[in-house]
Amino acid sequence: MRVPIIAVFAGGTSKENEVSRGSGAACALGLSRSFTTRLFHITADALPDGYDPEAHIVFSTLHGTFGEDGGMQRLLDAAGGAYAGCDAFSSALTMDKDLTKRTVAERGVPVAEGLAFAARSKPAAPEVVARLGTQLVMKPNNEGSSVGLHIIGDAEGLAAALATVTEGRWIIERKIEGREISVGVLNGRALGIVEIRPNSGVFDYASKYTKGASRYVAPAPLGDALTARAKLLAETAFAACGCRDFARIDFMISSRDELFLLEINTLPGMKETSLLPMCAHCAGLDFTALVREMVSPAVERFRLGTATRRP
């Protein structure tokens, strides 16, 4: 059997393509220290020219729609190709915030109270306020990187936010006041935990991708008991959604030290300064070691010929 080439997919067609290009460049460089590597710039919802499932193992850094939602993974499965990360089923599940919440809640992972709706049947503001109050978060049900995030503090703000909804599915949740953390998971085991401290108080798109807009504390100062619980809940959520290889799982911690799952990121940002690499560094893995470990299960699947078989 030929020695596989790691094909890094970057770019894509989603609103997060610029973020993806940065992740792809960093990962291609990191992986090149351990493997023969080729960087593919994805410009359409299709497998790129030059991709060969008999020779390549895909390491995708495509964020957002078609990258994280199972679209690219289904194409790779149909081609019989091996790839790192979650398969098409768990990718689609975790991209759906409402379905993710219902799935993990069945396994005992706490989630914020909320409701999901389609734009064509959006609720009236008084109905939402009566059920959830006025301190709310509204976001698209199937986007990443906090695209379309609304922080709402009163009924008028909710009505204004709802007025902007013209398409797609959305989710409204009761806002959890407290601290935000990210837990990296590698091969089903939690790595370190990073606390996110946005200067604006909200970890939105600008806070994520504007230099100096947020501070990060790694490892997060949680204490032994809360650290252990966060890691256990992250591992539980990872397993509940059928994830494989790696993910980054985000939580809010309330003022009473209650943990609430925010979302599961199956293809998180992957620059050397991104959250998952920070989590890995807390566990003693530098960036080169991290990306090598992230792709290793896919290398094994490639060698065993089990690329498209769901575990």
Residues 150 and 267 in one domain: no
Report the pLDDT value the prediction gives residue 146, as an integer from 0 to 100.
59
Same domain, 16 and 53: yes
Task: Examine the domain organization and report whether 211 and 106 are in the same domain.
Answer: yes
Domain end residue (candidates: 174, 200, 218): 174
Q: Are residues 58 and 142 in the same domain?
A: no
133, 197, 209, 216: the catalytic one is 209
Instruction: Determine, yes or no, domain membership for 128.
Output: yes
The reply to whether 216 and 104 lie within a common domain is: yes
pLDDT tens per residue, range 27-40: 999 999 999 999 99
Instruction: Decide if 16 is catalytic.
Output: yes
Q: Per-residue pLDDT averaged across 253-265, rounded?
A: 95
Domain span at residue 261?
93-110+177-288
The model's pLDDT over 161-170, given as tens digits with 9 standing for 90+, comes to: 999 999 999 9
**One domain for residues 101 and 217:** yes
Q: How many domains does the chain have?
A: 3
pLDDT at res. 299:
96
Q: Are residues 244 and 103 in the same domain?
A: yes
* Residue 203 belongs to domain with CATH number: 3.30.470.20
Active-site choice (144, 250, 274, 292): 250
Among 57-61, 197-201, 209-213, 217-221, which stretch is predicted with the lowest mean pLDDT? 209-213
Q: Is residue 43 located within the same domain as residue 161? A: no
Residue 259 included in any domain? yes
Question: Is residue 20, in this structure, part of any structural domain at all?
Answer: yes
Tell me if residue 209 is catalytic: yes
Q: 302 lies in a domain?
A: no
The one catalytic residue in 142, 146, 265, 274 is: 265
Instruction: State if pTM tops 0.85.
Output: yes
Look up 145 and say whether it is catalytic: yes
pLDDT in tens, 84-111: 999 999 999 999 999 999 999 999 999 9
SS3 of the chain: CCCCEEEEEEECCCCCHHHHHHHHHHHHHHHCCCCCEEEEEECCCCCCCCCCCCCEEEEECCCCCCCCCCHHHHHHHHHCCEECCCCHHHHHHHHCHHHHHHHHHCCCCCECCEEEEEHHHCCCHHHHHHHHCCCEEEEECCCCCCCCCEEECCHHHHHHHHHCCCCCEEEEEECCCEEEEEEEEECCEEEEEEEEEECCCCCCHHHHHCCCCEEEECCCCCCHHHHHHHHHHHHHHHHHCCCCCEEEEEEEEECCCCEEEEEEECCCCCCCCCHHHHHHHHCCCCHHHHHHHHHHHHHHHHHHCCCCCCC
Average pLDDT over residues 278-303: 97
Q: Which of 11, 16, 23, 68 is catalytic?
A: 16
In a domain, 206, yes or no: yes
Look at residue 306 and tell me if it is in a domain. Answer: no
Q: Let me know if 17 is a catalytic residue.
A: no
Q: What is the pLDDT of residues 104-163, one digit of tens each?
A: 999 999 999 999 999 999 999 999 999 999 999 999 998 754 568 899 999 999 999 999
Among 21, 244, 248, 292, the active-site one is: 248
Based on the residue annotation, tell me whether 269 is a catalytic residue of this protein.
yes
141, 247: one domain: no
Are 65 and 169 members of one domain?
Answer: no
Question: Does 145 map to a domain?
Answer: yes
Q: Does 265 qualify as catalytic in the annotation? A: yes
Both 162 and 195 in one domain: the answer is: no
Mean pLDDT (whole number) for 63-78: 93
Look up 250 and say whether it is catalytic.
Answer: yes
The reply to whether 49 belongs to the active site is no
Which member of 23, 148, 269, 274 is catalytic? 269
Q: What is residue 154's predicted lDDT score, i.e. its pLDDT?
A: 95
Residues 204 and 281 in one domain: yes
From 98, 204, 245, 263, the catalytic residue: 263
pLDDT of residue 145: 45
